[in-house]
Chain A
Amino acid sequence: MSQILLISGPPGCGKTAWILKHFQAHLGPCGYLRLPGFADEGLQHAEDGGLDQAFLCDQCPELMDLADQDVSLASHATNLLACLEIPQFHHPAESGLAGIDRRLIPQLAALQLMPQCHLHFGRDNELPQQDTLEFSALEHHSLPLNGAVWDPDSLSSFWFELVNGAYGDIFRAKAHVNLPDGRGFLFNWIVSQEGSQFLPLLELESPHGRPTRLSRLVVQGKQLQLNQIQNTINDCLLSDAALELQQGPLRQQQQLPTPSP
């Protein structure tokens, strides 16, 4: 018997964190699908760029990708917990399953992922009562950072400036970042919450050049100065030579072989 949940809510309300908590508490297999949301809400959804899925996969290495039709259409494993996540600003018109946006139904039916339960942040008491912000008329930007490695102290300065409004009126910032020692972090911040989350990814890469995992910065806000954000990021990222300068001694400590040129 599998259980399929649809979780909706505005950006930053804690959908992914709630889903992770339930995956970690669930004893059987877990599956995840992030749906893109509908643009006609008059609001822009942040292009997640795969950040939430990458983070959940890191934390739950056995997680099934339900976007893969071979997985979603296969007969579901016993005791599967499937969570479908969708960003949605407006409260559903009706309660329970009847509140699911009708345009989703054909897609869910085709994937054979019809939810048995729909929970919306701000409507359903089963979910934490987060301060669900009015994200009206926000711009969003998604900056790819694949292969980029940050100078850790520079990253700390940049994030401080970013979330304190140095580059425009920021509402939400989320990033997967790489450090020279092979660690990756999820940086997560929303204007209504106190402080940032800095969550270490479980998967470690060896200090051997540039990492291959997904890396990206997603920001939402008003009058964001993207050029300045990009300029500062450029000043924070390590060149090949600077990266090797930091990784060489780490490899020696760990007695890893030096890469051949």
Chain B
Amino acid sequence: MAIAVLSCLHANLAAVEAVLADIDQLGLDTIICLGDLVGYGPQPNEVVELVRERGIPSCQGCWDEDIIEGLDACDCSYPSQLAERRGQLAHHWTASQLKAENRDFLAGLPFSLRRGRLLFVHGSPNSQHEYLLPDMNAFTALERVDSAEADTLLCGHTHRPYVRRLNHGSIRVRVQKPAGAATSSSNLASSEHQLDLPLRRLINAGSVGEPRHGSTKATYITVDEDHDAVEIREVSYDVERTCQAILNAGLPPIFSWRLRHGFEYAERADDAAHVCER
């Protein structure tokens, strides 16, 4: 039986409603959400309440975490001062709007969900803030899936949907160590072996509420494990309704302009491997 996986709803009610309608029309009963229910968008309470009503199991996203724990996104998540100022503004607005029961719901969300050999996370198994981008180093992608003890890792956070199949590979490993009480390189113990790499899959669900894949349509994915099939689905929704809600809420008009043109509200660092020193 196929399941639907969605991520990064970002308080965009019109988009969430449209995606759920699409899932219902496909007849899928199992839906899993990879977090970021709130942030930037104008309807945080409405979106959290809809997810609660539908009983959709969710992981906690970086925005959900920050709203609960206080602004924790490290500076290096923001590529510019402008993006950081806008992110902070959106954070404070969302925090001021969110009802206590919805905040409690976000606080109770788990970091990850597991279903057999599928692992669901927001960013990566390491962190809600880490980006697993479609073109990232294949070995790094494999390390993230393998270290999570999963065959398939499902993530969001980048707002760009994709399926990366890590097929055939091997690593030749040569280890040298001092032999006994060695004091020079001439006395070394050396061993060598080949590691055949396992087959793994990395799936990114894209974004429902803040698409960034070159279109304004909401994206999510369906996974049919029985038939080894993954489909990336694009869903049109009433973008203007959300743009108007942004203006009505008193959020910056530039958020409305960016959403209408398919740009993320505030760009993020495009570096999966960036070193955060925090």
Q: Please report A residues at the B interface, Cβ cutoff 8 Å.
A: 151-154, 156-158, 161, 164, 166, 225, 228, 231-232, 235-236, 238, 242
A-contacting residues of B (Cβ < 8 Å)? 79-83, 85-86, 252-254, 257-258, 261, 267
Contacts of B82 in A (CB 8 A): 151, 153-154, 157-158, 232, 235-236
Does B257 contact A154, Cβ atoms closer than 8 Å? no
B85 → chain A, closest Cβ, in Å?
A: 4
Q: How far is B80's CA from A228's CA once the two chains are assembled, in angstroms?
A: 18
Q: Which of B79, B81, B261, B267 has the most CB of A within 10 A?
A: B81
A156-B80, A235-B81 known, 5 other contacts, Cβ within 8 Å: A154-B81, A154-B83, A164-B261, A235-B82, A242-B81
Contacts of A235 in B (CB 8 A): 81-82, 85-86
B80 touching A166, Cβ below 8 Å: no
Q: Which 3 A-B pairs have the closest CB atoms?
A: A153-B80, A154-B82, A151-B81
Whether A161 and B257, one on each chain, are in contact in the complex, defined by CB atoms closer than 8 angstroms, is yes
| A154-B254 in contact (CB<8A) | no
Give the chain B neighbours of A154 by CB distance below 8 A. Answer: 80-83
Q: Which residues of A contact B81 (CB under 8 A)?
A: 151, 153-154, 235-236, 238, 242
Task: State whether A232 and B261 are in contact (beta carbons under 8 Å apart), knowing that A154-B82, A157-B82, A242-B81 are contacts in the complex.
Answer: no
Task: For B86, list chain A residues within 8 Å (CB).
Answer: 235
Q: Roughly how many angstroms separate A235 CA and B82 CA in the complex, as a whole number? A: 5
Closest residue of B by beta carbon distance from A228: B253
- Report the Cα distance A238→B258, complex, angstroms: 24
Q: List 29 A-B contacts (CB under 8 A).
A: A151-B80, A151-B81, A152-B80, A153-B80, A153-B82, A153-B83, A154-B81, A154-B82, A156-B80, A157-B80, A157-B82, A157-B83, A157-B267, A158-B82, A161-B254, A161-B257, A161-B258, A164-B261, A166-B257, A166-B258, A228-B252, A228-B253, A231-B252, A235-B81, A235-B82, A235-B85, A236-B81, A236-B82, A242-B81
A225, B83: Cα distance in complex, Å:
20
Q: A247 vs B213: C-alpha distance in the bound complex, in angstroms?
A: 36
- How far is B80's CA from A242's CA once the two chains are assembled, in angstroms? 12
Please give, as numbers and ranges, the residues of chain A lying within 8 Å of B261 by CB-CB distance.
Answer: 164
Q: Are A166 and B254 in contact (CB under 8 A)?
A: yes
Write the nearest CB–CB distance from A187 to chain B, whole angstroms.
Answer: 16
CA distance A174 to B85 in the complex (A): 25
* CB closest chain-A residue, reference B256: A166
Q: What is the CA–CA distance of A151 and B84 in the complex, to the nearest angstrom?
A: 12
* Minimal beta-carbon separation of B82 from chain A (angstroms): 4
CA distance A156 to B81 in the complex (A): 11
Q: Which residue of B lies closest to A157 (CB)?
A: B82
Question: Bound state CA distance, A114 and B86, in angstroms?
Answer: 54
- List the A side residues contacting B258 at CB < 8 Å: 161, 166
Collect the chain B residues with CB atoms within 8 Å of residue A236's CB: 80-82
Q: With the chains together, A158 CA to B257 CA distance in Å?
A: 13
A166 neighbours in B (Cβ, 8 Å) = 254, 257-258
Docked Cα-Cα span, A161 to B257, in Å, equals: 9
- Bound Cα distance A228, B247 (Å): 13
Which of A151, A156, A225, A231 counts the most B-chain CB atoms under 10 A from its CB? A151
Cα of A236 to Cα of B83 in the assembled complex, Å: 9
The complex places the Cα of A154 from the Cα of B87 at a distance, in Å, of: 13
Question: In the complex, A228→B255 CA distance in Å?
Answer: 12
The distance in angstroms between the C-alpha atoms of A250 and B277, with both chains bound, is: 21
Report which residue of B82, B253, B267 has the largest number of chain A beta carbons within 10 angstroms of its beta carbon.
B82
Interface centre among B79, B80, B83 (most CB of A within 10 A): B80
